[in-house]
Amino acid sequence: MFSLRRSALALLLALTPLLPTATLAQVPSEDVSRGTAQKLLEALQKQDADGVFALFGGSLGRQASLERVRERLKAAPRVLEGSVRQVVRGLDTGIVDMTLRTERGVEFLRLVVNPEGKLIGYEVGNTTEPVDEVAQQFINDLGRGRWLAARSQLVLSLQDTFTTSYLAQRWGDLQRRTGPFRSIDSVVTASSGGDQQLVLVNASFARGPVTIYVILDDRNRVTGVDFPLDRRDG
């Protein structure tokens, strides 16, 4: 079992813990946080990979790559417009809540901005997409090696623990038993509408079918996933 309970832009972006180690002077101003959000919005609307990548800092900047960002932008729905809902000053970061309207619907995006105005984390949540589509996209991103995209669909509190390298390692553990990922065959919503939602993703691997359990919260953010490392499906 690979459980994410220990502790996800569609679009691209890893969080460092908000620890009480900074002084108020180190917190980015509201103007800095809003400016970062506006630059990100403009880059997403233009599908400008260089512009998006230039905003990355901290562990997000170390784990991402320009090529990965470019690939993700090509696959993501085009952002038509967006707006800042609120800016909150934390102990050493700024938190920006945004609303994005894309070709596929509305998404709510939370950004974590450091004092230098760099984006060090983000969370996509409360999407208007059905819960089964979110779960399917999460597994598909893992299957295609899009670790950063998959990580963005995790609830924010998990993103620092479950790094892109950790996701890659656990998916690799699964494929050593199942063989390479091939496709997603079907998606079944076992429970929805509550604080904890369960979606069963039936996928094909080289050695046969596998059912993966994806758990999401009431805002359609991934909070857990059960890989069948200790059982045989099908």
Assess whether the region 24-128 and the region 140-226 belong to the same CATH fold: yes
* Cα gap 133→142, rounded to integer Å: 14
pLDDT digit string (tens) for 19-38? 233 333 466 788 999 999 99
Residue ranges of the domains in the chain?
24-128, 140-226
pLDDT in tens, 179-213: 999 999 888 887 777 788 888 898 989 988 888 99
pTM equals: 0.56
**Residue 63: C-alpha distances to residues 58, 59, 108, 213 (Å):** 9, 6, 23, 26
Q: Tell me yes or no: is domain 140-226 CATH 1.10.260.40.
A: no
Which H or E element spans position 143? helix 131-143
CA atoms within 13 A on the CB side of 7: 16
User: Was domain 24-128 assigned CATH 3.10.450.50?
Assistant: yes
Angle 107-91-37 from CA coordinates, rounded to 5° = 35
Model confidence pLDDT, tens digit, residues 46-94: 999 999 999 998 777 877 889 989 988 888 889 999 999 999 876 678 8
At 158 the three-state DSSP class reads helix
Confidence of residue 125 (pLDDT cuts 50, 70, 90): low
